[in-house]
Amino acid sequence: MSSTPLSGTERTTLRRGKEKGRTDRRHLFEVLGAAFVCHLGVIVDDVPLVVPTIYGFDEQHLYVHGSVASRSLTRAGTTVTATVTVVDGLVLARSLFEHSVNYRSAMIVGVPVVCTDPGDKLAGLRIITEHVAPGQWDYARRPDRRELAATTILALPLAEASVKMRSGPPDDGAGPDAALGLWAGELPLHTGWRAPVPDPALAAGIAAPDHITRRSGAAAG
Amino acid sequence: MSSTPLSGTERTTLRRGKEKGRTDRRHLFEVLGAAFVCHLGVIVDDVPLVVPTIYGFDEQHLYVHGSVASRSLTRAGTTVTATVTVVDGLVLARSLFEHSVNYRSAMIVGVPVVCTDPGDKLAGLRIITEHVAPGQWDYARRPDRRELAATTILALPLAEASVKMRSGPPDDGAGPDAALGLWAGELPLHTGWRAPVPDPALAAGIAAPDHITRRSGAAAG
């Protein structure tokens, strides 16, 4: 992964919580690698719609897909944001004011490119598929011409982004509130895969492939 | 919980995936009760910023808090959205085109009210606290006058919202792709609390209270 600093434009320069800001690209890739759903922000009729969707990424772009008919994906040329958030736990302090959340979050701002070339669309879909469900690109049936035509792939440049992270214990352990004698610490949150559940319509004798079963128990986020 | 139908205005009427739409308020409350972080959408300088933040709710409002200095919370009178998403698992189909995600999501659209009365602010903070960290309102030190003055509470009416949910196996079990003989099913995702981690600065002999320890192992989402 490259370690080029993230851009620090007006809109992605952090104004609050600067101690939580990160400006190294490896932190951006750490966040992107730790989740698979982002929240896409797009302005429609003066309303900032926020829509969850899966994504994939490479060194230069975040890729999202959707139906050609989706209103949030058909506004090419307008600025959107994609925010990825991993919640790692609660920070329980002596005072409610110092309560916090341990998290890793990235907000990417940019004008997405709509992929029109079938080869580019397939490449984008492959990146998304292999990020969300590694191994399925080579296992499941790939999109045919009709399915590919019905799919939009957007590539959002990873040029402008802000990354925020918090970890560790609460901040009031050395302050006057420590004298209150209250318990304080972290309550970690864990997200992980469980065992695969076969489709009830599945014919007998078809076992789940290794690339699926081996995810069980693994962390996701 | 009330079961008044959600409003179906132009901007929250689902245009895609109607089979996934829910119009009963109990589904909205189910989603809000299953998570504690929302993604807040707010337009700043023509950009739809998407910011993660904790929330609480009652029958009429979603409450979020923030610093008075936060740019995303100081634009009173403008329309914002708050999207809450719980990801329940991956839907692995025979074709990549039929791959999907099992999830529960709600997007609330509205003009938030900025709480200015100290009593209203405390009530909102209590709702947020007891949703995110039940028991801490009565356990930890509550905000003093200075801390309360530095905190903004926004109440977003729950009048206009769209709710989408998907659950169950993939949709191609009865189609021609079933003949491919590929495994298909769900890969469930689970989010839960782990054991609390004491602040290293904690004085000896202070045990975590029951309201914290009993969350360990419980689902969150």
Question: Which CATH class name applies to B18-172+185-213?
Answer: mainly beta
Chain A 163-202, residues with CB within 8 Å of chain B CB atoms: 169-170, 173-174, 177-178, 180-202
Is the Cβ pair B187, A174 closer than 8 Å?
Answer: no
Stated pTM of the model = 0.91
Residue B15: list chain A partners with CB under 8 A: 69-71
Domain boundaries, chain A: 18-170, 190-221
Burial label, A104 (beta-carbon count in 10 A; 0-12, 13-18, 19+): buried
Contact (CB, 8 A) for B31 and B163: yes
Report d(CA A175, CA A178) in Å as an integer: 6
User: Shortest CB distance from A201 goes to which of B39, B178, B196?
Assistant: B178
| Residue B130 reports pLDDT greater than 90 | yes
Chain A residue with the nearest C-alpha to that of B221? A191
Give the model's confidence band at B3: pLDDT under 50 very low, under 70 low, under 90 confident, else very high: very low
pLDDT digits (tens, 9 = 90+) for A13-32: 544 444 577 778 999 999 99
pLDDT digits (tens, 9 = 90+) for A45-55: 899 999 999 99
Rounded alpha-carbon distances, angstroms, from residue A32 to A8, A13, A82, B147: 19, 19, 11, 34
Q: How far is CA B177 from CA A140, B110, B189, in A?
A: 10, 43, 25
Q: What is the pLDDT of residues B15-54, one digit of tens each?
A: 444 457 777 899 999 999 999 999 999 999 899 999 999 9
B210 close contact with A: CB closer than 8 A: no
Q: Choose the closest CB to B202 out of A183, A199, A215.
A: A183
- The rounded distance, in Å, linking the Cα atoms of B23 and B27 is 8
Instruction: Determine contact: A34 vs chain B, CB below 8 A.
Output: no
Fold classification of A18-170 is: Pnp Oxidase; Chain A (2.30.110)
User: Is the pLDDT reported for residue A96 higher than 70?
Assistant: yes
What residues contact A123, with CB distance under 8 A and at least 6 apart? none
Inform me whether the pLDDT recorded for B179 exceeds 70: yes
